Amino acid sequence: MNKKRKFTIENTEISEVTTVTLGGYPQKIMLDGKSKENPVVICLHGGPGTPIPFSVGCRGMFPDITDRVTLVCWDQLGCGINNRVIDDSFGIDSFVQMTVDLVKEIRGRFPDNRIYLFGMSWGSILSARAAAAVPELINGVVTYGQVLCDMTFNDEVYAVLEASAMPESKKKKLQKIKKDRSIDNARSVMSWIRKYTEGYTCKAGKSAPIGGAVMGLMTSPDYTMKDFRAVVLNGYIKNTSLIRALTDTDLRDILCNVKVPYTMLQGETDIVTSTSALSKFIPKSGNPNLRLVVIPKSGHMPSEEAMVGVFECFNSL
């Protein structure tokens, strides 16, 4: 741990890793903030099972953020410091309950602070469902890569892949996949989006400084090497229930009825959680709480420009 990070940790009013019970499971969460009076942001990472960059291991890593808000980071059950096997008995409802329990825990600790949820991709499902369940406990939601409906198997994805440089043999396979929404086919389509389109990564954007985040986790005062490995090699490896849940999720009714301010940051080339679909949905939703901010030069994986947008959003809370 470098001197700057050590100084940040030692000069904050809130800096701790503690164990709470979420969904019936004891789990560790991290709280990091300069002032007890600042707004609180509960981070809900993507994946499922990918706690980067906001994880339990990032205490002291983001002083530009924690000077203004208190970060609450949770490695969702099955990864990072909370690693365990996530078998197919787990579904979205399991993680929504854990999220709601976390919101209740944080509201109990900060009864007078403004509290926000920040969900990335998979985490945006949890943020939307939690906002619908306990709107009285939060003040708003920010997401990057908002899930809406029909992930992976939709006309936009098919059209972009068919217009891409993907080999003809795979395009022929795609025609058959359209009629078979299996787990294996979902994985194939996701890999093709990553390889042959800018749906995940926009070529015009600068890569987010992931190397620095990874190094920060490796030198974390709170992670063991076992925890660090479980950021990637974790309990989700053999899980299929959550992939199926992702492709079947439809949040349109929930988002139409969200009762708190809900800002969606989206990469302009994102077809994984479709920016185009959201831009059409929001005006028709009739919900004035919904707001879309399109980030240029970014796809589903946040670019440097997108991370700047996220930080700016945090700073404005």
CATH of the domain at 293: 3.40.50.1820
Domain assignment present for residue 130? The answer is: yes
Grouping H, G, I as helix, E, B as strand and the rest as coil, residue 120 is strand
Domain assignment present for residue 57? The answer is: yes
What pLDDT score was predicted for residue 199?
97
Domain assignment present for residue 178? The answer is: no
**Shortest CA distance to 32 belongs to which of 18, 21, 46?**
18
What pLDDT score was predicted for residue 316?
87
pTM: 0.96
E-assigned strands of the chain? 14-22, 25-33, 40-44, 70-74, 115-120, 140-144, 262-267, 290-295
CA distance 60 to 17: 12
Q: Which residues contact 249 (CB under 8 A, 6 or more apart)?
A: 92, 125, 147, 149, 151
Domain assignment present for residue 187? The answer is: no
* 141-168 CB burial, b ≥16 within 10 A, e <16: bbbbbbbbbbbbbbeebbebbeebebee
Domain assignment present for residue 18? The answer is: yes
CA distance 50 to 48: 6
Number of domains the chain contains: 1
β-sheet with 290-295: strand ranges across: 14-22, 25-33, 70-74, 40-44, 115-120, 140-144, 262-267, 290-295
Tell me which DSSP letter residue 157 carries.
H
Q: Which residue has the tokens 């059950």?
A: 77
Domain assignment present for residue 159? The answer is: no
CA distance 171 to 168: 5
Tokens representing 131 are: 């906002």
The rounded average pLDDT for each run of 10 residues, N- to C-terminus, in the chain (317 residues) is: 90 97 98 97 97 95 95 98 97 98 98 98 98 98 97 96 97 93 94 97 88 88 96 95 94 98 97 98 98 96 91 88
Domain assignment present for residue 227? The answer is: yes
CA distance 78 to 87: 10
Q: Which residues contact 117 (CB under 8 A, 6 or more apart)?
A: 41, 42, 44, 103, 126, 127, 130, 131, 138, 140, 141, 142
Grouping H, G, I as helix, E, B as strand and the rest as coil, residue 102 is helix
Structural domain boundaries, residue 250: 3-150+205-315
Grouping H, G, I as helix, E, B as strand and the rest as coil, residue 272 is coil
What pLDDT score was predicted for residue 287?
98
Domain assignment present for residue 171? The answer is: no
